[in-house]
Structure 1
Amino acid sequence: MFRVKKVVIPDSVVKINSCAFLDCKNLIEVKLPKNLTEIPFACFSGCKQLRTVVLNEKLDNIDMFAFANCKDLEYIDFPNSIRKIDEFSFCYTGLKKVELPEGLEYIGGEVFMGAEKLEEIKFPKSLEIIDAKGYLFDECPNLKKIILPKGFDLDLVYDDTVSIEYYD
């Protein structure tokens, strides 16, 4: 069993393997290297106590299941370099409020599925594709507000108690 609580990956690292920290149940904090461009498949999946992740300014892709089942992950500050967030990346996390970064172009399906604490999400003007086939917020019973750029058509399934706000 892994007992590691904090990981600081050196800046000399440019790639992390898929599932590298899978099920490190005691991991609380991660600092990623400045030259990393992708968080690979299931890299931190199952890190149930993970609370703090410092993302770098060169990161452009968060792959499938990257942070799935990180129950204690309540907040993440996305850099504007992120272009793609893949399917199930943040499913079953503790995220409460999400502001997707300006520059994000693609978001996959079920990204926030089971994020039971999720209350609010803001989409950027740069978003071109939501590849969700209608589903992005399954099992998000506390979702109260979705904030969209004016003119944005949201073709997703969500509870009728959710308010939609628009911004310029």
Structure 2
Amino acid sequence: MRVATVDGLVTLFYDRSKELFNQELSREWWNAYCDNDGNSNDDDWKEWDISDECREYWRQRISWQQIIVTDGVTEIPDSTFYNCWNIQRVIFADTVVRIEYQAFSDCRSLVYIKLSINLEYIGMWAFFLCNLSSVFIPSSCRVIRNDAFASNENLSIFSVPQHTELGRDMIQFAALAKSSPFQLRRDGWYEREVNDDMNTWIKNMNHDEVFSLHRACASFQPLKQVLYNIIQEKGLKAFKVKNDVGITPSQYLKENPYTELTEKEIIHDYLMKLMGEVE
């Protein structure tokens, strides 16, 4: 593994040549965290009563801002990047087939992930308490366990294949969940029996015309004609006005890792079509 600066971010090239999570050192840090009233600012922990080994362990973990998983890695083990709160982006090699239990849990700065197109399994709490706004699950994915994307408060697009098995509380406390037809309990959770219905809604929400922009946004390869139809109906302002789940097509097109189509190209082609210059 090596560390370098890429796009201005301290980047770890993860090749699994070393196991990154140390349970004993992590426990030592958390005990000190609790002893200091939950104070976890970047500098305050340096004064805590912890071993030099623990201090160096933690210094490395909070230094990473981007993770690039290299070709050949097939699995991200349990807790590998747990609580690495400064990671902003993760790009997975297409050799990755499994992301295990809480692998990126509590990476609170994580706003962007590009998943492997061959990914098969996402473990419980894998991306719990991150800051993702859009997630595109590849068609290869068979299983996503409980709470895998819960507590991503800004999550507005969650595209998942029909055949993927979903666990409980998949997008709990996410912006998208607030658009669902299901009522929360007073403690902010759904009733257990609601989860199956919630998962069905997640997989089928794009059939609802209320979410027509989400449907276009959630496509792995969005069809130009679909976007033309939205422009025809709503005008070019459709690319500036937020839809019911709080995201615009232009925001999506800049972030969707599966499309090569840009907003500018769509609008240009559409205008050319109106002028009869393209078929």
Please tell me the TM-score bracket, short chain as reference. 0.7 to 0.9
User: Aligned runs of 1:73-84 on 2, under 5 Å?
Assistant: 73-84=110-121
Residue 205 of structure 2 corresponds to which residue in structure 1? 164
* CA-atom RMSD in angstroms: 2.8
Amino acid at match of 2:11: K
* CA-to-aligned-CA distance 1:101-151 (integer Å, 9 cap, x gap): 110000101111111111110112442x2232xx212222x11678xxxxx
Give the aligned length: 147
Residue 19 of structure 2 corresponds to which residue in structure 1? 17
Offset at residue 33 of structure 1 (A): 2.1
Richer in strand (by share): 1
Task: Write the distance in 1 (CA, Å) between the matches of 2:79 and 2:179.
Answer: 28
Amino acid at match of 1:40: P
Task: Write the distance in 2 (CA, Å) between the matches of 1:75 and 1:99.
Answer: 11
User: Aligned runs of 1:63-82 on 2, under 5 Å?
Assistant: 63-82=100-119
Offset at residue 58 of structure 1 (A): 0.7
Residue 39 of structure 1 corresponds to which residue in structure 2? 76
User: 3-state DSSP class of the match of 2:112?
Assistant: coil
Query: Does the CA contact (< 8 Å) of 1:16 and 1:39 recur in 2?
Result: no
Query: Does the CA contact (< 8 Å) of 2:147 and 2:167 recur in 1?
Result: no
Query: Does the CA contact (< 8 Å) of 1:46 and 1:67 recur in 2?
Result: yes
Identity across the alignment (%) = 18
After superposing on structure 2, the runs of 4+ consecutive aligned residues of structure 1 that deviate more than 3 Å are: 13-16
TM-score, length-scaled by structure 1: 0.75
The match for 1:6 among 11, 14, 19 is 11
Amino acid at match of 2:13: V
Unaligned runs of 5+ in 2: 5-9, 27-57, 181-194, 208-214, 220-279
User: Aligned runs of 1:6-155 on 2, under 5 Å?
Assistant: 6-9=11-14, 13=15, 16-17=18-19, 19=21, 24-127=61-164, 129-132=165-168, 135-140=169-174, 142-143=175-176, 155=196
Task: Write the distance in 1 (CA, Å) between the matches of 2:67 and 2:173.
Answer: 27
Q: 1:16 to 1:130 in 2, by over 3 A?
A: farther
Q: 1:71 to 1:89 in 2, by over 3 A?
A: same
Higher relative contact order (CA 8 A, sep 6+): 1
Q: Please tell me whether Structure 1 or Structure 2 has the larger radius of gyration of its CA atoms.
A: 2
Query: Does the CA contact (< 8 Å) of 2:82 and 2:103 recur in 1?
Result: yes
Amino acid at match of 1:136: M
Offset at residue 14 of structure 1 (A): 5.1
Task: Write the distance in 2 (CA, Å) between the matches of 1:81 and 1:101.
Answer: 7
Task: Write the distance in 1 (CA, Å) between the matches of 2:18 and 2:99.
Answer: 12
Q: 1:16 to 1:84 in 2, by over 3 A?
A: farther
